[in-house]
Amino acid sequence: MTARLRTLGAADRDEAMEYLAASPVENLFLMSKLNMFGIDRRRLGILCAWQRDDQISSLLLDGGTACVAGFDPEALPAFVTELGPVRRCSSIVGPAISVLGLYVGLSGRWPGGWGTVSNIRRRQPLMLLDHVSDVIPDPRVRLLGTGDFESYLEASVHMYTEEIGSSPYKFGPGYERFVMDRLQRGDAYGIVENGRVIFKADLGPQYGTQAQLQGVWIAPDLRGTGLSVPALSGMLGLAMRRYPSISLYVNDFNTPALRAYERLGFVEVSAFATVHY
User: By residue range, what is the domain housing residue 52?
Assistant: 3-116
Give the β-pairing of 91-95 and 65-69. parallel
Residues 99, 149 within the same domain: no
- Residue 35's pLDDT is what? 96
* Digit-coded pLDDT (tens) for 110-160: 999 999 999 999 999 999 999 999 999 999 999 999 999 999 999 999 999
- Rounded CA-CA distance 212/203 in Å is 6
* Digit-coded pLDDT (tens) for 150-186: 999 999 999 999 888 888 887 778 899 999 999 999 9
- Residue 226's pLDDT is what? 94
The region, left, alpha or beta by phi > 0 then psi within -120 to 50, assigned to residue 186 is left
CATH code of the domain in which 160 resides: 3.40.630.30
> What's the domain count of the chain?
2
Residue 207 corresponds to which amino acid?
Answer: Y
Task: Give every strand in the sheet of 142-143, ordered side by side.
Answer: 3-7, 46-52, 55-62, 65-69, 91-95, 267-276, 119-129, 245-249, 210-218, 196-207, 188-193, 142-143
* Digit-coded pLDDT (tens) for 222-246: 999 999 999 999 999 999 999 999 9
Residues 157, 265 within the same domain: yes
Residues 68, 146 within the same domain: no
pTM recorded for the entire structure: 0.92
Average pLDDT, the chain: 96
Angle at 214 between CA 48 and CA 65, to 5 degrees: 25
What count of other Cβ atoms lies within 10 Å of the Cβ of residue 103? 22
- Residue 97 belongs to some domain of the structure: yes
The region, left, alpha or beta by phi > 0 then psi within -120 to 50, assigned to residue 97 is alpha
In sequence order, the β-bridge partners of residue 47 are 61
Residues 90, 194 within the same domain: no
Phi then psi for residue 121, to 5 deg, are -100, 100
- Residue 130's pLDDT is what? 96
